[in-house]
């Protein structure tokens, strides 16, 4: 039951073969991919093991849709910075030294990506996809009249000169790539965010006026309804056990039954690797847990107007409707009560240092999500070496920022059409 209302797109009128496509995963990546596949004319089913969309990482997102801010975690100078923060009681990274070989192998590759030239390549790739994605998001917002608690602008806060120094290569790249940004002093920062606490040290700030924040799960639910209207069939509470190759293409194994399809898109977040490994699709992924908190605003005059990022603790602070969303802290070792406690303390510190009277942080709801991260921090989109198996995964810290563009790009590739942007560096081809 396809409706006439579609996002106007230069490809929409092009004749193409209609395929039956299964999307695995109802996070923001899967929902956006399913929408664009149906919009392109395919028969689409989306399989999600929970009872609704956006129940895992996409639920935890702090909401930044921020192509200017988005960057890899591998930044020149970051390894030393992390080592010095490891033993602080509040820390952006939680890591218990041990003998996890997989972690050390991954860490070696991550350190190599901290090289200045590699950093510039990776961040430019993220900006290319992020700006494309934001443009499409705006078109969808306008076309479908979407409201998802949007707020304009992101302010990066640097507590010390060291934090500012670490940001220099990124600021230089923004200038080179013509992305609007403005360095401001403490008065300038407070002119942008008047409620910013004056007794927390601030060496400087960077304002990104075109970045924004928005409620990711709310947006996913809105797109779910639009996608259903144009024909996407959602199957909730069903878990894909395995992907098998089939004479017709591929087949999914669900509850012991085989379902053949023409193509499958794996957008299964942290479970993607488990589904892909038996097919021989291997990538240097590592699972990283990230924490989030939502605190009810009790004093709106003292709350942030939009989104901020505390660069010392790598905590993002966003005003989403009547709540302040805090998120951050990358945990690279197995869960423990003490690590969780440290993560929560770090989030609360960032919130109460910058907006002490805005919300009751101690009463906030806390949760966390696991995401698969590649050393370069750039997602992998499009075909795999296995015929008819496509991926949309490893979005790291910026999956919400990239989701709409990544969904469209993968849909174009499944349709055999050239994507709107250069896909160089965004596919598995970068792994040879």
Binding residues (CB under 6 A) for ligand FAD: these are 24-30, 47-50, 55-58, 60-64, 239-240, 267-269, 271, 275, 290-292, 316, 327, 369, 371, 395, 397-401
Could you tell me where the beta strands, DSSP code E, fall in 28-125?
43-48, 64-65, 93-94
Q: Cβ of residue 323: shortest distance to ligand FAD, in angstroms?
A: 14
CA 21 to chain centroid? 23
User: Which position's Cβ is nearest ligand FAD?
Assistant: 399
Q: How far is the CB of 290 from ligand FAD (least distance, A)?
A: 4
Contact 70, 47 (CB under 8 A): no
Give the β-pairing of 307-310 and 315-320: antiparallel
Nearer to ligand FAD, 85 or 308 (CB): 308
Is the separation of the CB atoms in 230 and 173 below 8 Å? no
Least distance in angstroms from the C-beta of 249 to ligand FAD? 18
CA quadruple 378, 331, 271, 269: dihedral positive or negative? negative
Q: Residue 62 or residue 73: which is nearer to ligand FAD going by CB?
A: 62
Neighbours of 85 (CB within 10 A): 18
* Whole-angstrom distance, CA of residue 268 vs CA of residue 304: 33
Longest dimension (CA), the chain: 67
**How far apart are CB 66 and ligand FAD at their closest, in Å?**
7
Least separation in angstroms between CB 80 and ligand FAD? 25
* Closest to ligand FAD by CB, 58 or 415: 58
Beta carbon nearer to ligand FAD, 42 or 371? 371
Q: What is the closest distance, in whole angstroms, from the C-beta atom of residue 47 to ligand FAD in the complex?
A: 5
Nearer to ligand FAD, 47 or 155 (CB): 47
Can you tell me the distance from the alpha carbon of 226 to that of 5, in angstroms, rounded to the nearest whole number? 9
Three-state secondary structure call for residue 259: strand
User: Residue 288 or 303: which CB sits closer to ligand FAD?
Assistant: 288
Q: Find, among 199, 198, 207, 203, the residue nearest to 161 by Cα.
A: 203
CA distances from residue 203 to 55, 99, 381 in whole angstroms, order as listed: 38, 38, 38
Give me the least distance between CB of 307 and ligand FAD, in Å please: 8
DSSP code, position 297: B
CB nearer to ligand FAD: pick between 304 and 369: 369
């Amino acid at each position: 039951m396809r409706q006439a209302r579609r996002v106007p797109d230069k490809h929409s009128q092009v004749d193409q073969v209609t395929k039956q496509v299964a999307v695995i995963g109802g996070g923001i990546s899967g929902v956006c991919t399913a929408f664009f596949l149906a919009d392109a004319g395919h028969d689409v089913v989306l399989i999600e093991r929970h009872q609704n969309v956006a129940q895992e990482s996409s639920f935890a997102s702090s909401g930044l849709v921020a192509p200017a801010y988005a960057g890899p975690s591998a930044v020149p100078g970051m390894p030393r910075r992390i080592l010095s923060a490891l033993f602080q009681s509040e820390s952006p990274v939680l890591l218990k030294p041990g003998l996890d070989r997989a972690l050390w192998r991954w860490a070696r590759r991550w350190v190599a990506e901290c090289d200045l030239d590699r950093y510039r390549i990776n961040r430019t790739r993220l900006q290319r996809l992020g700006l494309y994605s934001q443009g499409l998001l705006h078109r969808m917002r306008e076309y479908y009249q979407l409201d998802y608690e949007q707020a304009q602008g992101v302010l990066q806060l640097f507590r010390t000169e060291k934090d500012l120094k670490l940001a220099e290569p990124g600021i230089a790249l923004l200038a080179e790539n013509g992305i609007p940004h403005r360095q401001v002093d403490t008065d300038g920062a407070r002119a942008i965010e008047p409620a910013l606490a004056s007794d927390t040290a601030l060496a400087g700030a960077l304002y990104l006026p075109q970045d924004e924040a928005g409620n990711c799960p709310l947006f996913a639910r809105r797109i779910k309804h639009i996608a259903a209207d144009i024909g996407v069939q959602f199957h909730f509470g069903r878990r894909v056990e395995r992907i098998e190759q089939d004479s017709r293409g591929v087949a999914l194994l669900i509850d012991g039954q085989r379902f053949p399809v023409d193509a499958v898109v794996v957008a299964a977040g942290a479970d993607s690797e488990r589904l892909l490994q038996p097919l021989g699709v291997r990538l240097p992924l590592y699972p990283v847990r990230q924490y989030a908190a939502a605190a009810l605003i009790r004093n709106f005059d003292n709350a942030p107007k939009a989104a901020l990022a505390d660069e010392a603790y790598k905590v993002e602070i966003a005003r989403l409707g009547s709540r302040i969303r805090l998120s951050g802290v990358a945990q690279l070792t197995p869960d423990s009560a003490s690590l969780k406690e440290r993560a929560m303390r770090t989030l609360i510190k960032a919130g109460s240092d910058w907006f002490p009277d805005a919300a009751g942080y101690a009463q906030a709801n806390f949760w966390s999500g696991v995401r698969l991260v590649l050393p370069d921090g750039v997602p992998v989109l499009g075909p795999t070496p296995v015929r008819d198996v496509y991926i949309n995964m490893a979005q790291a810290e910026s999956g919400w920022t990239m989701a709409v563009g990544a969904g469209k790009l993968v849909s174009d590739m499944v349709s055999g059409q050239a994507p709107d942007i250069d896909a160089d560096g965004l596919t598995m081809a970068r792994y040879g």
